[in-house]
Structure 1
Amino acid sequence: MKHTLNRQRSLKMACLSQLTYVAYNEGLEVVRDILKSGCLPLVRQYETIEFIQAPRALISTSDFACCGLALSAPNEIAIAIRGTENLDDYFLNLLAKSNSQGIHSGFDTFVERFWEQLQEFIFREYNSRKDIFITGHSLGGAAATLITKRLQKSGLKLIEPYVLETYTFGAPPVSTEEFILDTPLYRFRNAGDFIPHLPEIIAVAIKRIPGLRGAIANWKPGLLETLSNYSHLEAEYLIENDYSCRQLDEPDISKIWQWVQFSRILLPQLRVKTQGDEEKSGVKARLRKLVQTLIQASLQEHRAIKYVERLNFGNLPPWIK
């Protein structure tokens, strides 16, 4: 489904996504000051500013951390979710797991941890009859997609002309099954960021690396099929290096693969020759190295601030010193 893209609004959503990292790294008050005063045209002024707290994403710990923003203005609500703290562990350990509905179990568990807090905020009386914008970067973008789906299932009634829109930046796919949203989803990817397509790229890599496909089939049957089945919702908006933005109906994964030129980098190092228990540990080590290399190759383009910079025609926001 094609929607009309509002670049200025997309920039605002990218800024909110990036500010979730600022809250996590520099403190909540820094972000509160920015949002209380507003910083047009990058972010508007919000009267109600709350921080979503949850156990650290995808890490076994009892520690809580800021994982998002819940914001309210006279005519809108904005929800922004922060991305993962450790891309390596996130993709290697959780990417291939899906629940009985085909939804990535790690993403779903992450959203569940703060869903009650978020739902209470959205359904407050003073937040009724407002536009709702949900956004996030990387893991936060996946979470934003699942939040939108949960809101639609919760019986949320939007009376025209009120809207519900979702904006994601560098987000991975969330499901191996058909997954449909009834409201607009704007899914952005920087031209040099292939992390959103990591499942497909890993699947291609496994097929091409001598000995790795069979070894992984023995170690984790069904892994390759699951990786291949992950797919994105809606069309992708590609942000080019010259700051232009265009909608792609079908991203060309083969071109992304050629850009990585992975076969020249790691193919000789990822041959699987060990047997038995040694083979299992060897396969895991090689898969980890594969994931690490692919992530590092586009990490700069994947950063949340890079999405802000590209949508803002090369300019950084004033809160970035």
Structure 2
Amino acid sequence: MSVIIERAEEHEKIKKLLSKEIPSYRQAYSDRTSMIMACLSELAYIKFNEPLLDSTNKKLIKNATKLLGKEKASYIYKLIDLLAYDSEKERKILESDLVLLNLKLEKTFDEKGTQAILVSSEEFYVLAFRGTEPTSIADIKSDLDAIQTSCETGGRIHRGFKSAFNDVHTQIQTYINQNLKDKPLFITGHSLGGALATVATKKLIYPQIAGCYTYGSPRIGDERWMLGIRSPVYRLVNSADPVTMLPPGSDLIDIASLLVKFIPTFGDSWSKRLESKFGGYSHVGYMRYLTNIENGNFGDARLLYSVSFLRRFRAYFSNIKHYSKIPSDHSMVVYRKKLQSIAYYKQKIN
């Protein structure tokens, strides 16, 4: 069973791609590296951490739900399956898929709802953060706590992302200090994981942070906060992915603040509060835009280094009538499959 390889021929393509040399420390953007980081951002979702519900009590709980009736119990069963997974089995799947990528699991991190994996090859390390899980109250709380707060490294940062990273910061930094040496470190993640990866790129102390690759990442801080990031950050945006537009950027907040001023009595105070709490959000790094595709034809996707506002607006507008497609554009699976197809095309792998 594999998460990132669905067919045998896919394994052969990945082996050919991985046989090529990866660029060195503080790298320029690489299609091959981006594909590997996308795979690891997806694998970070594998539930290696302890489940919320003890799987040994699963049978007892299911028997108890029979009192609810068949229809109501079906919803409870689905919830139990999400919360009472086998973490050892999940870890084995993770380790097996890493072998397919010529990688080794070095360490897993799990603290107060923030999870990450650290893997290694002969040439480099990768720290991959897990993104938002629908069943995790901690993740949802982190996403929604969008008030900006001062950062000790300069500038202002999303309070929820700062808190989520702080939960695991010491654990990761201590492991890096004691175990990593002489190889570049990449940092990556999807969604919330992309935000945490960006924070980690700024805050972790390691002499060879080669770069950060994020997928579907929201905005994290203001322009001053971004100035402290020394390693390159490559921000992958897929077509109409809505998360990449959150929290609202500084231009939108400026307009909203101006309009609020016209409200009698409370306008000025509300306007100032809006600007102080949510103003100044900007994106970090160099954007890479993945174009829209039809009918799952991932081979048709193209990677653009820049894209006009009009083109992005058209991508959103064209998907309004297909509501299910907008959230699918945020899927890490879609990001990974598009980037795999692009990497194969660039390297002439059929």
Tell me the TM-score normalized by structure 1: 0.68
RMSD: 3.8
Secondary structure class of the residue paired with 2:42: helix
Amino acid at match of 1:157: P
2:211 matched to 1:165? yes
1:58-97 equivalence runs, <5 A: 67-86=115-134, 91=143, 93-97=144-148
Q: Quick one: structure 1 residues 33 and 49, their matched pair in 2 at CA, closer, same or farther if it must change by over 3 Å? A: farther
Amino acid at match of 2:220: V
**Deviation (angstroms), 1:38:** 4.6
Q: Quick one: structure 1 residues 236 and 83, their matched pair in 2 at CA, closer, same or farther if it must change by over 3 Å? A: same
Secondary structure class of the residue paired with 2:148: coil
Q: Quick one: structure 1 residues 39 and 113, their matched pair in 2 at CA, closer, same or farther if it must change by over 3 Å? A: closer
Answer yes or no: is the 8 Å Cα contact 1:135–1:168 preserved in 2. Answer: yes
For 2:156, which of 102, 105, 118 is the aligned residue?
102
Q: Give the Cα–Cα distance (whole angstroms) in 2 for the partners of residues 228 and 298 of structure 1.
A: 26
Answer yes or no: is the 8 Å Cα contact 1:70–1:77 preserved in 2. Answer: yes
Which protein shows a greater Rg? 2
**Deviation (angstroms), 1:73:** 3.3
Q: Which runs of 5+ in 2 are unaligned?
A: 1-25, 49-81, 293-299, 344-350
Structure 2 partner of 1:50: 107
Secondary structure class of the residue paired with 2:305: strand
Deviations 1:124-153 (A, max 9, x none): 24x2111201100111111101111112xx
2:95 matched to 1:36? yes
For 1:130, which of 180, 183, 196 is the aligned residue?
183
**Deviation (angstroms), 1:175:** 0.8
Secondary structure class of the residue paired with 1:136: strand
Structure 2 partner of 1:318: none
Q: Give the Cα–Cα distance (whole angstroms) in 2 for the partners of residues 90 and 157 of structure 1.
A: 29
**Deviation (angstroms), 1:219:** 5.6
Structure 2 partner of 1:302: 330
Structure 1 partner of 2:51: none
**Deviation (angstroms), 1:27:** 5.0
1:118-197 equivalence runs, <5 A: 118-125=172-179, 127-151=180-204, 154=205, 156-158=206-208, 164-178=210-224, 179-180=226-227, 181-197=229-245
Amino acid at match of 2:290: I
Amino acid at match of 2:196: A
Deviations 1:241-294 (A, max 9, x none): 33211212xx544554465459x99xxxxxxxxxxxxxxxxxxxxxxxxxxxxx
Tell me the TM-score normalized by structure 2: 0.63
Deviations 1:1-34 (A, max 9, x none): x963211211111111111222266654455334
Q: Give the Cα–Cα distance (whole angstroms) in 2 for the partners of residues 149 and 192 of structure 1.
A: 28
2:337 matched to 1:313? no
Answer yes or no: is the 8 Å Cα contact 1:98–1:176 preserved in 2. Answer: no
2:266 matched to 1:223? no
Deviations 1:54-84 (A, max 9, x none): 2126xxxxxxxxx221223333221111112
Number of residue equivalences:
262
Aligned structure 1 segments of 4 or more residues deviating by more than 6 angstroms: none
1:1-20 equivalence runs, <5 A: 4-20=28-44
